[in-house]
Structure 1
Amino acid sequence: MYKKGIAAVLYNTSTGRGVPVYMMPAPSERSSRMLLIFLTLLVAHSVFGQQSSGSVNVHNILQQDSTTHYEDGIPNSLRRFIRWAPKAELHVHVEGTLEPEMMMRFAERNGIPPPYPSVQAARAAYNFTDLEHFLQIFYAGCAVLRTRDDFYELAMAYFRRAATSRVIHAEVSFDPQTHLSNGVEFDTFMGGLVDAAMDAEEQWAITVSYIMCFRRDMPLESAEVALRLALPWRHRIVAVGLDSSELRRPPRDFASLFDRAAALGFKRTAHVGEEGSPEYIWQALQLLHVDRLDHGTHCLDDPRLMAALNASRVPLTICPISDLQLKVYDGQLQERLGQLIHSGLMVTVNSDAAAYFGSYLAGNYEWLSTAVGLDVRQAARLVANGFQAAFSLPEGQRRRMVDTVRQLAEAAEAEDKAGGKQGEADVEGSSRRRLLTLRG
């Protein structure tokens, strides 16, 4: 049980039951009141929808300081919006959240020689020249993952960090062929991941589903085996994906596999257009019939493709700091990401492999805000897109989250217009419920 934190419980006086809605590491005293206001808003929209007889004024969520000033190029109102807005993360590899300390601990526990002699050596190795170099290091780290507990602890560590970025919905990718080739049974790693998902939902109110990614660089037969083994876990695996190096491995090679996955009811996504050409994105759309594109940044090289994506509203799950570290559009990344953000495409922001790239979701939003000069409204559109593009959110919850993001953005814009003037919280609770805080 994760004890050091703050939880919110919605207490319904008509039923006498409390509903835990959020938990995260304990905030500082300075931000506690701000957190409670945020939770009240989140509760009103997420749990009771529009049934509230009271009203919630959200302006003070973002008015922590008496004046709006700039730090690292980000106005405080935007920084606080990024910090407090509820978010969905759609492109994160659970194996990519393996921090060096955890890697060393698992290696020792499982009697496996670690890939590096020390934590410091591991961190020093995280200086990538390109995607191929990153993948070599990424797969070496996966070798220490052997037991159900390993996968449980790995996923729980991610969910704990995701909660601090205010992630309330996560669609987490995993590579079954990697673990099967390491001698780990499907039910072993899937059991640990599902156990973690259930505990994350209970402890931090994060809804979780998984995306099973097929590796381009492994035999197609091994992907077929993974697809068959995944069927008993269909209730938690919402989609299939395609990852590993794109070069010389076109999406068309996996068309029949994706057709079978679709027939079994899985959604489809694929890593394309990260290092591959726009032609690979076209193949993913026309031959794999993907519902989402992972990365996809090289769509910028084809105006006709840009127009098609704009018309179809197929979402792109971009990963800004991953692109920076892997030298995508090297020397032009900020300009190109700015073009992508301002293009009107359905773009979402994600962390990819946060332990290797050094930043989880909120950090990606902050870096992107500085790199391309986002304002609150643009940041809010990206956050809302995350909910709109999610595979496994019920439609009612999707709408409520988008509405919550909109209200927070309006509050931030009002703060900017008022010059950051400090106001008093105006939170009117319904007579049917009250918000309790529990510290443990």
Structure 2
Amino acid sequence: MATIGRARAVAPVKDAALARFIAGMPKAEYHVHLEGTLEAEMKFALARRNGLQLPFADVAAMKASYRYHDLPSFLAIYYDGMKVLLREQDFYDLTYAYLAKAAAQNVIYTEMFFDPQEHLKRGVPMAAVIGGISRARRDARTRLGIRSQLILCFVRDLSAQSAMDALDTGLAFRKDLVGVGLDSDEAGNPPEKFRAHFAKARAHGLRVTAHCDVDQDDTLGHIRTALLDLKVDRIDHGGNIVESPELVALARQRGMFFTVCPTFSGTLRKGLATPVDVVRAMLDAGLNVTISSDDPAYMGSEYLDDVLIRAADRSALTRTEIVTLARNGFRAAWLPEAEKQAMLARLNAYVQRADHS
């Protein structure tokens, strides 16, 4: 989730040639919350279908309400928006809409987060949630050629028991899941709260990732726990790691991948006289950075191409560095090595064609 910000206009194009290169480049995305792709237009459509009344006159009024100053104020908007998701078809429509947008931007592979606790507590059965998502994933792969996998996230500011109940319920749909994650408000909810959940997930063959949002209380402690104690497979956000040479060295030694959302959590500020650009600092530190869009529907409807274009400008990225970010994306996939190599070959072929055009 984003830590600080408000809805923004679509990223400007300062280098048209670079923007075209980014748009045509095969890409992967990991840090995207399905519920965070719920555009205002779809909210109104689902509300009508489900007999709900929304407290907004129109789409413009709803989008104007997407204003927040910190993580809790963002989450209040984000979770309120989910209330229109009630039936399997709602989750199908939500997922297919994101996958269609991603495929149109040449995203060929994505691993998507979802927050089942928020739906279960409203009485929506897990079968409807995962059933709709999985059906959309299959249809999108057949019709659009985009491959995807699903990550069950624990909402860290709900109880540990609630998270375990969601995991136990989700394990009945193990074939539809690739991993578990950890999102939402970090205050008072350190990663170790979910040690037993991660252990059970691993025992069932699932991969593990965790949000370590920027500039949170004890951020470096959370990163340390994730790396050393929980031994996560990826870290989501994690920009504050650049403040600790020890943790940077450990992450490099482990080949850790970071799913960074630069438009929304791209600057370190807490306790610093001069803000630090996260992407620039992490790349300069030799870390494996991947780029994602986070919750695009609530953040100016900026999907992956827009985020990459903005990052190229703000972080002074070269085309070589953008290709490195894309390669990291495929290398980070929770897929067999042969399948990752096939996607990398597709990227390399694109770069070679662009170099000779």
Change (3 A) 1:144 1:311: same
Partner residue of 2:309 out of 357, 366, 374: 366
- The secondary structure found in structure 2 opposite 1:92 is coil
Query: Displacement, 1:141?
Result: 0.2
Determine what percentage of the aligned residue pairs are the same residue.
38
Which residue is equivalent to 1:318? 260
Using the alignment, how far apart are the partners of 2:240 and 2:172 within structure 1?
A: 36
Match of 1:378 in 2: 321
- The match for 1:135 among 75, 82, 93 is 75
CA displacement at 1:231 relative to structure 2: 1.7
Q: How far is 1:341 from its partner? A: 2.4
Q: Which residue of 2 aligns with 1:294?
A: 236
Residues in 2 aligned to 1:80 and 1:401: alpha-carbon distance in whole angstroms: 20
Give the distance between the partners of 1:109 and 1:408, measured in 2 at CA. Answer: 43
Shift, 1:404, TM fit? 2.6
Q: Alpha carbons of 1:93 and 1:336: their partners in 2 closer, same or farther (altered >3 Å)?
A: closer
CA distance in 2, matches of 1:302, 1:115: 46
Q: Aligned partners of 2:165, 2:296: CA distance in 1, in Å?
A: 29
Shift of 1:275: 3.6
TM-score with structure 1 setting the length: 0.74
RMSD, aligned CA: 1.8
The alpha carbon displacement at 1:72 in A equals 4.1
Larger helix proportion of the pair = 2
Q: Give the 3 Å change call, closer, same or farther, for CA 395–211 of structure 1 in structure 2.
A: same
Residue 408 of structure 1: how far off its partner (Å): 2.7
Match of 1:338 among 267, 280, 298: 280
Highest relative contact order (Cα 8 Å, sep 6+), 1 or 2? 1
Displacement of 1:375 in angstroms is 1.5
1:18-33 equivalences under 5 Å are none
> Does the 8 A contact of 1:273 with 1:281 survive in 2?
no
Tell me whether 1:96 sits opposite 2:36 in the alignment: yes
The residue aligned with 1:197 is 137
Structure 2 unaligned regions, length at least 5 = 1-11
Q: Which moved more, 1:405-414 or 1:155-164?
A: 405-414
Q: CA deviation at 1:413?
A: 4.3
Counterpart pick for 2:201 among 248, 258, 261: 261
String of CA shifts for 1:94-130, please: whole Å, max 9, x gaps.
Answer: 0000001111221222122325342112111222211
Deviation at 1:373, TM superposition (A): 1.4
Q: In the aligned structure 2, how far is the partner of 1:333 from the partner of 1:150? A: 41
Q: Distance between the aligned counterparts of 1:333 and 1:143, measured in 2?
A: 37
Within 5 Å, which residues of 2 pair with 1:10-409? 72-74=13-15, 76=17, 78-276=18-216, 277-323=219-265, 329=269, 335-358=277-300, 359-391=302-334, 393-409=335-351
Question: How many pairs align?
Answer: 341
Contact 1:275–1:298 (8 Å) recurs in 2:
yes
SS of match in other structure, 1:234: helix
Q: Show CA shifts across 1:131-153 (max 9, x none).
A: 11111000000111001111000
Q: Is the 8 A contact 2:13 2:19 kept in 1?
A: no
- The 1:286/1:115 distance shift into structure 2, 3 A limit, reads farther
Q: CA deviation at 1:193?
A: 0.3
How many Å apart are 1:164 and its aligned residue? 1.3
Q: Please say if residues 247 and 275 of structure 1, whose CA atoms lie closer than 8 Å, have aligned partners that are also in contact.
A: no
User: Which range moves more in the overlay, 333-342 or 80-89?
Assistant: 333-342
- Structure ID, larger Rg: 1
Q: Which residue of 1 aligns with 2:4?
A: none
TM-score, reference length from structure 2: 0.91
